[in-house]
Amino acid sequence: MLSNHIQNGIGMASLAWSRLPGTEEAEVHDEADLASTSCGNGVESLDYEVIENYAYREEQAQRGKLFIGFYVAMKWFLALLIGIGTGFAAIFINIAVENFAGWKFSATFSIIQTSYLAGFVVYILFNLVLVFSSVFIITQFAPAAAGSGIPEIKGYLNGVDAPGILLFRTLIGKILGSIGSVGGGLALGKEGPLVHTGACIASLLGQGGSTKYHLRSRWLQVFQSERDRRDLVTCGCAAGVAAAFRAPVGGVLFALEEVTSWWRSQLMWRVFFTSAVVAVVVRTAMAWCGSGKCGHFGSGGFIIWDISGGQEDYSFEELLPMAFIGVIGGLLGALFNQLTLYITRWRRQYLHKKGNRVKIIEVCLVSLISSAISFGLPLLRKCSPCPESEVNSGIECPRPPGMYGNYVRFYCAKDNEYNDLATIFFNTQDDAIRNLFSAKTFHEYSAQSLLTFLVMFYTLAVVTFGTAVPAGQFVPGIMIGSTYGRLVGMFVVNFYKKLNIEEGTYALLGAASFLGGSMRMTVSLCVIMVEITNNLTLLPLIMLVLLISKAVGDAFNEGLYEMQAQLRGIPLLESRPKYHMRNMAAKEACRNQKVVYFPRVVKVAEVVSVLRSSKHNGFPVVQGNRETLVIGLILRSHLLVLLQSKVDFQHSPLPSDIRGGSIPIRHNFSEFVKPVSSKGLSIDKIYLSPDDIEMYIDLAPFLNPSPYIVPEDMSLTKVYNLFRQLGLRHIFVVPRPSRLIGLITRKDLLIEENEDPATMELQSTSVRPHRRDRRVLGRDSEAEHPLLNGLLVQD
């Protein structure tokens, strides 16, 4: 009787289990409790729903449809806010960087009219101050903001919450740090950090602001489940890419292909909306800046490096050199990944352990070297005479110093000469790329200059990678790639003299090939390349080059982000199971585990001792007198909350609902929600008096009544797929069943909502005892027939 009663209780729990405040899309992963394992740095996130069903149950029944509407509207409103926020952050970074760089170059150029040495010193100092400010902010204030942040975000969306990555201080550090490091002329970009920035904005908005800085708004706090937060962060990533490259479709695809681990088709639509908002915001701001209100910023259009005036057509003879570019991209990209892996590992193991001072000195040294090379090397280069310009080409030669554009005059003797190395090296990265991509500038650069630049910049990019500043790899990758692309283009122009070939086209393909070879993205990169250059006719060529470079790169190592994630201790679950898993059964994966069970009503002392002695994040809960039954899973973090709050302690070892009355609701659900990017509670920090220790807790209201289960001899490949595709955190491995309740097929899941009127009623009532009794009776009567009845009734 007791057992039966409890069974009912559990049945109810599991029924109510999925009645969330999140509704429109809340169904998809009920146990989408992304969380890290016990791997030190990551702290487990918790699945909010577990609690919800008990406490919100009544509330929900009243709120009903109204709350759902509010919830859905809030999701869209937040998507809008994320778009606007990320758009403004991007604009702010861009304006700041362009202005700092602009002042720097104007000052330097005006000083070198009198003395090159003084100009050199000013240039170096300017860079040093900017870079120092960046590294100072990062090391002192926001250590999690170093690097591009994409591996960490990828990890977060895969289920590993590295500490600090989504905090308000990280956001601020990322924005200010990128301005310093990019404005300071290091060989890195601001695009990767913008993805992280977008994710931070999304996460902060999702939790209603920063807790620490008392910037929370209560009415924004509707999103407390991990799934909702993850969705928002996905939107944020897409917004970041959309803002960084002004490529809204590319942003959606980047989020889809590169960042997320669990994609839901409903999400696409909202991510798309966020990207569109970003595009509108960025475009509006740029239009406003176009009239010169933003200082040095404002020359670029919505398309960053427009090459639509370039090559319109291509012939078959060109495919071979283009394929060659793909191969180079694959090789250099794989080499880049490998070198940065070694150098980052070395940094982490030796250099960065020595403290922040070493980090600061390191970055300042890199800045000095970068400045010296970018200023000094063009000095050594002999100037070239300007080409005979056509009247209407719109290309001026030489440019007056301090202005954007091709054919920069730098340390030249004659008036109509330009310095080709300075044109790409002694310039902002955006302008350098524009110059490399530019059409109608045949042989603007000598092969010698391009090679010099390639070698030096490649080395600088490798060395700079992994220093303690926010650093993206897109722009350096584009610069490296477009250099050798243009080099190949020069040879092709010489070789196929009669064809209408633009060197800029080859530079674009080179850029695509290097990014493909290093980051191993496909569709998203392709779309981003098209969107940033506004040239659709080259699409099949970009695809070809990407295919080759990715294939070549894959032959050597993994993608940049995967390798970096691994190095940083972010254990990403790949989308495919390892090959050897097909030879293993589920039980082999958990062979040496000693399963620690909790009884339904457990003594506090026992909980404490188990939590102290084991590191597991989840514990099965059993109950029953003669026959035990596994009734669910309780999370470590929930137990800690229960221990800390103490309100659920009881003196009786009997379940609370049996002692009469319903389960009292004493908890506010937000107590169970782990703040993003924090370590959560620890058992050592909870003080319990000797009296407390002697009391009991009824775990039933707090457990997940039906985690996914697999039979013990299921292939580990299948288990992996289940785990990975549903985004689970715990799977119970159970013995082979001895009987079945039934089989579920497609037909059983195609129940129409209005099929029987009783079902409709079910939705609005949550407690419906007599219906359930009927069902119980039904099952009882079934039990009288032997199990294999079906088999016996044969003719």
Residue 220 or 622 with smaller CB distance to its own copies: 622
| CA 623/CA 7 separation, integer angstroms | 10
Tokens of 265: 């088709």
Residue 446 or 537 with smaller CB distance to its own copies: 537
Tokens of 578: 């390892």
Closest CA to 283 of 76, 533, 83: 83
Residue 153 or 175 with smaller CB distance to its own copies: 153
Residue 555 or 760 with smaller CB distance to its own copies: 760
Tokens of 636: 């470590």
Least Å distance, CB 551 to its own copies, is 9
Least Å distance, CB 249 to its own copies, is 6
Least Å distance, CB 783 to its own copies, is 4
Least Å distance, CB 37 to its own copies, is 4
Q: In this structure, what are the phi and psi dihedrals at residue 147, rounded to the nearest 5 degrees?
A: 75, -170
Least Å distance, CB 374 to its own copies, is 31
Residue 55 or 179 with smaller CB distance to its own copies: 55
Least Å distance, CB 586 to its own copies, is 7
Residue 108 or 706 with smaller CB distance to its own copies: 706
Residue 574 or 671 with smaller CB distance to its own copies: 574
Tell me the CA distances in angstroms from 575 to 92, 137, 245, one per residue in order. 36, 36, 27
Least Å distance, CB 581 to its own copies, is 7
Least Å distance, CB 568 to its own copies, is 8
Q: Tokens 């700041």 map to which residue?
A: 96
- The CA dihedral of 224, 226, 229, 231, to the nearest 10 degrees, is -140
> Which uninterrupted H or E stretch holds 525?
helix 523-533
Closest CA to 522 of 494, 559, 555, 557: 559
Is the separation of the CB atoms in 620 and 598 below 8 Å?
yes
Residue 414 or 612 with smaller CB distance to its own copies: 612
> Which uninterrupted H or E stretch holds 195?
helix 191-206
Is the separation of the CB atoms in 302 and 283 below 8 Å?
yes
Least Å distance, CB 61 to its own copies, is 11
DSSP state letter for 614:
-
Residue 15 or 493 with smaller CB distance to its own copies: 15
| CA 247/CA 275 separation, integer angstroms | 8
Alpha carbon 485 to its chain centroid, in Å, reads 30
What is the C-alpha R_g of the chain? 31
Least Å distance, CB 717 to its own copies, is 4
| CA 633/CA 622 separation, integer angstroms | 9
Least Å distance, CB 127 to its own copies, is 28
Residue 115 or 593 with smaller CB distance to its own copies: 593
| CA 585/CA 368 separation, integer angstroms | 57
> Does residue 761 sit in helix, strand or coil?
helix
Residue 460 or 527 with smaller CB distance to its own copies: 527
**What are 623's strand-pairing partners?**
629
| CA 729/CA 47 separation, integer angstroms | 10
> Does residue 377 sit in helix, strand or coil?
helix
Residue 283 or 440 with smaller CB distance to its own copies: 283
Half-sphere exposure of 454 (CA within 13 A, CB side): 23
Closest CA to 420 of 449, 398, 379: 449
DSSP state letter for 387:
P
Least Å distance, CB 531 to its own copies, is 6
